[in-house]
Structure 1
């Protein structure tokens, strides 16, 4: 390994004396005193960042992964762990017929045709390899298969516990054991470009102290000490979305008001995105912000309702508390369901009501007993011995609710939902209606969940410039990217997106370093 002095001299001669920060500040090569050298710098430690770090370190690249938060994992660590792929062992064991074309078609339909099909095809065709990659790195998946709303067949699997941390932690452990440097409280401030516009480093801050305030722009936080990293291969932006950047998201979409709760961790802001935009990075779909239809007003953040919603929406019904009637296909895509819930949430007189989702004890076995217990303990899920008792508790007209339940049970018996054409499928070989007490229910209210917009990449995860063409040395993956999901992402499609393009970004950044060093 070259000494820092020799590296500095070589860099100075290669850079031609001109270095540009995204802020517009120009420095001479002699003004940069590099604090650290690496082949690959990964910004973000969620699914995409972890996949990139693992691939880079496996390729022999000196790899640094940073995260501005005091703990690793970002949104991925609090994600439910749902992972949709074609050809999983769980599908094969249940003789589920699936194919890449169907996968892409489902995501295109949910995205209202706005998706970048070239990126979707990469995700679909490489999802199984990403699953296998995670298994090889120590992730354990349980023998369960689910069908999320908008998917045409069951293709969703989960790690041993319904938590994304059961994926991120093994990947982080693997990367660290292989020699990757992983730092928390370290924020990305800017790219460093040479005279040709190529990324040759990054300005970051050590000892950064994140402070959440939805009314203050994160750029006002000046904590930490600035450092300069010389990066030979590439910077991988796996910095996530901006769902919790209340001010920024409302500038983009006025009706996503500050009172709407959010499922994300507090660090999901647009700070990194804005830094990239100052560098002339191309973006798209920034105004496409998704609400999760499985949120509950009875808890903050992601909570337990989304986990229980999987069997409740699959084998139960959602009803309007004012009438007891169903009002949507409970397995439609997220946008369709969220729009339907919001529509009946606001009453004509300005008051608010919350739809109620109902299922029975057989449906509740579609998740773990621990999840049901947690929901009951928190008061988010309620348990009732009879439908009449449930109706009384929520103030639902009993006759209206009873008719909805009876009608749904007849649809299950006949295998056809005559009202909303909801897919009806079995749970462990059993047709599930709403008849076996106790009955479970929870109140629904969508929450801000995912930002589909971000930087533009090609199929090699290379970030594109506003002026056209790729920016050498800059890669991106995961929710930081705009394009794969169009207007709305299907549930359980985030993990394959992140892992697939995280792997591609990490591998290509490491490859570039090898080529430049040759």
Structure 2
């Protein structure tokens, strides 16, 4: 049986694997269909995708059809956010709808993250969206592997080398239990970035040694393997110097120097969370670009806190309770000092926090009354009345779940100490619009594709929140489709995942029939 090889079991990898299976009609001159083998070096699939906590962006989806948004507006926001290649900025509502239709996922909630002109970040009602989405796609591949030989998953297997013949990628060598094995077929790399490799010869040390002192949100498997293997056979890399530092890594009070940290979802700021400094004051637009918020933090006075009032936390309560259970967020019954509550922990008078909220409240009300007015430039466009962010030149334009200062004394809060963390590598192997990896001359390497964080050039010098899961699904599907076409040519034929899996994932959720 002819097969495609997917290296990496995060969302990009399982999106590619499912798409290969969807596209795997009859193989020319070969009995059977096109299959897929997924190889992952960890004990289980999921990767960093399962840590994604805010959601997946999409424009013109079924969930979002009543909102004032469009693919064109998404493209404009993403280019303003840092992307440099319009041909790689892809947000098709059908990609999110694919998740709903094929994997029975709940994508009914919307949030607005930093840099977005409309609420377009989708998530369901429970759990972290990255975990929910990625596990569903893993389960589909697993179900198909249990019913046929069309899919295989090999864990605890580290791919060491891409095999080539006459300039064409034709397989991989991997190590498992101390022995080397070979798989033959075209390859889709979905190995992630290099944000957890702090060794002296790492890509991080080579391109961004100034960041080596920072903690990271990446799992320790994130060491740039795919980039290194691609470069070894003549692939061209791009933007490796662009490493995103996220502003809201969660500090565990009992272990503040831990190198790997949990991430506070950007959605916490999207629902109205405020970022304040040691003096209890706002100093930035909470919904600005991640590199901007991080930059303003470095100018201000630590420790920094992310605080959510009751309305904000109620909107994203699963996250708040999860972080609280992990010991990286704390619930306060009120803001008033002198009662072992928020202001006492911060060692500031309650009047300071009242003034911070009152100023934010008044700016929001002025913005509501005169959305195009205000003395300060706003981000991503327009004007704002918000002085703390406006003075930075990146003013806040969207306000959500605000409270006036008089409410602070009695208001319950969730709060966490936050710090900048290495989060995402925008650079990687350069790809074309078909997700094919290109060589140093810019020509597509036959038989080699890349998707997800290993693929560079998609986000430019900064990635907007919610675009990573979208990138994984969009380019995972593009890579899977074009890899299948590469193998099948005119025999390309669509298949139904639900049929291949014996009923899809909904069958697992259905109540057992009464006997």
**TM-score above 0.5:** yes
Matched residue, 2:324: 376
Matches within 5 A, 1:106-505: 106-111=77-82, 115-120=84-89, 123-124=90-91, 126=92, 128-159=93-124, 160-178=126-144, 179-195=150-166, 197-207=167-177, 224-231=178-185, 234-247=186-199, 248=202, 249-258=204-213, 260-298=214-252, 306-307=264-265, 310-312=267-269, 314-321=271-278, 323-344=279-300, 353-368=302-317, 370-382=318-330, 383-388=332-337, 389-396=341-348, 398-415=350-367, 417-419=385-387, 420=389, 421-426=395-400, 435=407, 437-505=411-479
Q: Check conservation: 1:137, 1:170, Cα contact below 8 A.
A: no
Query: What TM-score, normalized to structure 1?
Result: 0.80
CA distance in 2, matches of 1:292, 1:490: 11
Partner-residue secondary structure (3-state), 1:295: strand
Call closer, same or farther: CA 1:360–1:279 in 2, change over 3 Å. Answer: same
CA 1:377–1:188 in 2, change beyond 3 Å: closer, same or farther?
Answer: closer
Larger mean CA deviation between 332-341 and 78-87 belongs to 78-87
Aligned residue number for residue 8 of structure 1: none
Asked if the contact 1:46–1:73 (Cα under 8 Å) also holds between the matched residues in 2, the reply is yes
* C-alpha distance in structure 2 between counterparts of 1:397 and 1:153, whole Å: 36
Distance 2:271 2:192 in 1: 29
What SS is found at the alignment partner of 1:407?
helix
1:310: Cα distance to partner? 2.5
The alpha carbon displacement at 1:424 in A equals 2.9
State the partner residue of 2:501.
none
Offset from partner CA, 1:34-84 (integer Å, 9 cap, x none): xxxx42000011111111111111222121011011110111122226101
Is the 2:251–2:261 contact (alpha carbons within 8 Å) kept by the matching residues of 1? no
Deviations 1:348-401 (A, max 9, x none): xxxxx3112223111111202x43233334442231413434223112355443
Contact 2:61 2:94 in 1 (8 A): no
Q: Give me the TM-score of the superposition, normalised by structure 2.
A: 0.80
The alignment's C-alpha RMSD in Å is 2.3
CA contact (8 A) 2:128 2:319 kept: no
8 A contact 1:204–1:228 mirrored in 2: yes
Question: Deviation at 1:243?
Answer: 0.7
Are 2:357 and 2:403, in contact at CA under 8 Å, matched by a contact in 1? no
Unaligned runs of 5+ in 1: 2-37, 208-223, 346-352
Count of aligned pairs: 441
Q: Are the aligned partners of 1:243 and 1:448 in contact in 2 as well (CA < 8 Å)?
A: yes
Contact 1:476/1:505, CA 8 A, preserved across alignment? yes
- Whole-angstrom distance in 2 between the partners of 1:472 and 1:516: 17
CA apart distance, 1:426: 4.3
For residue 505 of structure 1, report the CA deviation from its aligned partner. 0.8
- Contact 2:195/2:423 (<8 A) preserved: yes
Q: Quote the Cα distance in structure 2 between the aligned partners of 1:292 and 1:69.
A: 25
Give the equivalent residue in structure 2 for 1:4.
none
User: Aligned-pair distance for 1:144?
Assistant: 1.4
Mapped to 1, the partners of 2:40 and 2:165 lie a distance apart of 25
Shift of 1:119: 0.3
Cα deviation digits, residues 177-197 of structure 1 (max 9, x gap):
3331111011211111112x1
Task: Please state whether the residue corresponding to 1:443 is helix, strand or coil.
Answer: strand
Q: Offset of 1:460 from its aligned partner? A: 0.6
Q: Is the 8 A contact 2:40 2:158 kept in 1?
A: yes
Q: Deviations over 1:143-168 (max 9, x none)?
A: 31100111111101113422412112
Q: Is the 8 A contact 1:287 1:453 kept in 2?
A: yes
Deviations 1:302-324 (A, max 9, x none): 766513x5334642422221x33
Q: Quick check: 1:71–1:184 contact (8 Å CA) kept in 2? A: yes
**Which whole-Å CA distance do the structure 2 matches of 1:392 and 1:426 have between them?**
26
**Relative to structure 1, is the Cα distance of residues 471 and 365 closer, same or farther in structure 2, using a 3 angstrom cutoff?**
same
